[in-house]
Amino acid sequence: MKTNFMFTSESVTEGHPDKLCDQISDAIVDSFLVQDPLSRVIAECVVSSGVLFLAARFASQATLDIPGIARRVAQQIGYPEPIFNARECTIMTNFQELPLEHQVSAHEIHMSEEELDQLTVQNQATLFGFACNQTTAFMPLPIWLAHRLARHLSTVRLENHLSYLSADGQTQVGVEYQNRQPYRIHSITVVATQKEPHTPNLNTLRDALIQHVVEPVFQQEALPLDNKTKIWINPDGPVTGGGPTLHAGLTGRKNAVDSYGGYSRYGGAALSGKDPTRIDRVGAYAARHAARTVVAAKLAEECEVQLSYTLGQTRPVSIQVETFGTGKIEDSEIQRRLEEKLDFRLGGIIRQFRLRELPRFHKDGFYRKLAAYGHFGRVDMTLPWEQVEPNTLL
């Protein structure tokens, strides 16, 4: 196991086409659950220059204008109209409405333990949850910093500090590790798209983004920049427009951005566009909750929890724990305690995290907010899988 290494993670702003698709897909999920919390829905989106394609399969009593939801999300992101016109873009759809018998019979919070034991998963999935003590949010430092830079890049644009910025942006942070702990910031990359025709030259853009984005973020970080830190701003040259005009987008194509920045393993399935009965989404939340509980209890400095589910079963067929040599007790004992203290049944996860109700309590949607800047380690949202009781495992 490596102890000294360098690791990079990337993030993207909400205007990246893949993130546009994730947000549209999750806004559809939010809207179904607000009207009918028992809705079953899978929603996917593809976007390219001037065209949106929406596919949805659902069983619900809700009545929605799904293309209208897509237009609203795209308009709120705020692409310049020559780049992507949310009002006039072509929207193609393929919807399949299923009989209401495909819904569960009752809300999980009203089910008995015996009824929860009968609620089986409808798809196969292997999920990974990870937590570590590198940040106060129990996230790896590279993805934490990449998200912070991407979010601040978006804030600078929305507050019109740099009027020439467009909605699409990317960030990357490289961190050097010694003894598996962050040692120094190796490099920072920011790719910012600009509106035409008033695009600054690269030197002006570099100075502005360092002043308004990079420096404010690292003023609040314990690990500072140093005189050897490489800072690259649009290293491949000017990027104008961005968004769907520059590259197509697809729901579920940014799994590393959504999870742990590639620092640890993550499931292969998309997180966005799925209602709470999809174990390939909510199982990832349960696995993160378990890993975070272990690290919060100081049973390990790093912890990865693997949950494997198979079709037609209520509980995971396998639970594995890896603490990478940092565990204070045996990994097998941590695994035993997790199985004893936490509920990994599909119905138990939905009930504990109240996953059907969350969209009703968030004005601008709950799941849609997760679709940009990660599903884990968020400090701008109260996420139930991030709330842990350390004494649970002691």
In CATH terms, the fold of domain 5-12+141-241 is GMP Synthetase; Chain A, domain 3 (3.30.300)
At 241, list the tokens.
């427009």
Q: How confident is the model at residue 28 (pLDDT cuts 50, 70, 90)?
A: very high
Does residue 369 surpass a pLDDT of 80?
yes
At residue 345, φ and ψ (nearest 5 deg) are -70, 150
Mean pLDDT of 226-255: 94
Say how many residues make up the chain: 394
pLDDT digits (tens, 9 = 90+) for 256-300: 999 999 999 999 899 999 999 999 999 999 999 999 999 999 999
Q: How confident is the model at residue 375 (pLDDT cuts 50, 70, 90)?
A: very high
At 77, list the tokens.
């992101």
Does residue 241 surpass a pLDDT of 90?
no
Q: How confident is the model at residue 240 (pLDDT cuts 50, 70, 90)?
A: confident
Of 90-99, 122-131, 234-243, 315-324, which gets the smallest average pLDDT? 234-243
Residue 118 CB: number of other CB atoms within 10 A?
Answer: 11
Residue 315 CB: number of other CB atoms within 10 A?
Answer: 18
DSSP secondary structure of 6-19: EEEEEEE-TTSHHH
Amino acid at 247: H
pTM above 0.95, yes or no: yes
Q: Is the dihedral of CA 244, 155, 186, 136 positive or negative?
A: negative
The pLDDT of residue 393 is 95
Report the chain's mean pLDDT, rounded to a whole number.
96
The pLDDT of residue 161 is 94
Per-domain boundaries in the chain:
5-12+141-241
pLDDT digits (tens, 9 = 90+) for 146-178: 999 999 999 999 999 999 999 999 999 999 999
pLDDT digits (tens, 9 = 90+) for 73-130: 999 999 988 889 999 999 999 999 999 988 887 899 999 999 999 999 999 999 999 9
Establish how many alpha carbons lie within 13 A of residue 12's alpha carbon, considering only the half-sphere containing its beta carbon.
24
Portion of the chain with pLDDT greater than 70, in percent: 100
Contact 137, 377 (CB under 8 A): yes
Distance CA(201)–CA(80), nearest Å, equals 20
The pLDDT of residue 51 is 96
Cα–Cα separations (whole angstroms), residue 278 to 66, 196, 238, 346:
20, 42, 41, 8
Portion of the chain with pLDDT greater than 90, in percent: 92
The pLDDT of residue 198 is 76
The pLDDT of residue 12 is 98
Residue identified by tokens 């999980």 is 108
The pLDDT of residue 364 is 85
Helix (H) or strand (E) holding 145: helix 141-158
Amino acid at 50: G
Does residue 48 surpass a pLDDT of 80?
yes
At residue 27, φ and ψ (nearest 5 deg) are -65, -35
The pLDDT of residue 104 is 80
The pLDDT of residue 81 is 85
